[in-house]
Amino acid sequence: DFTGEDVALVAGLCADPATPTREAIARAACEALSWRAPNGALKTMSAKVAFLAMHRDGLIALPAPRHKNTNTAWPLHLPPGELPAPIEASLADLGRLCCRPVSDKAASAAWNEAIARHHY
């Protein structure tokens, strides 16, 4: 949770020409608030997530992002495809299960499609 003083500090950083980017604001705020991970690294990603929420709530005015969000570069929602037949068996009936690394382009494409279709 951020105190009123913390929000004021971040708002000041947002208005300061010395911190013109979201990254610079996050770094400066983490330094000022001693916001570090157990390994000593600044928690800039956590700060950016928190500051975006503050921005959306109207508490601070972040500068525009410098880069487009690339998380939308691949389709998150695919048209319905044919589902494989369900497997109705106990784990004992299936036998040994194992995980294998994706090792070629075809397997990688199949993995990406399965994740896009079923995970998100």
Question: What per-residue confidence (pLDDT) applies to 17?
Answer: 96
Q: In degrees to the nearest 10, what's the CA dihedral of 18, 1, 47, 53?
A: -90
Cβ atoms of 61 and 14 within 8 Å: the answer is: yes
Mean pLDDT, range 54-69, rounded to an integer: 92
Question: What per-residue confidence (pLDDT) applies to 6?
Answer: 97
Mean pLDDT, range 70-87, rounded to an integer: 68
Question: What per-residue confidence (pLDDT) applies to 4?
Answer: 96
Question: What per-residue confidence (pLDDT) applies to 109?
Answer: 83
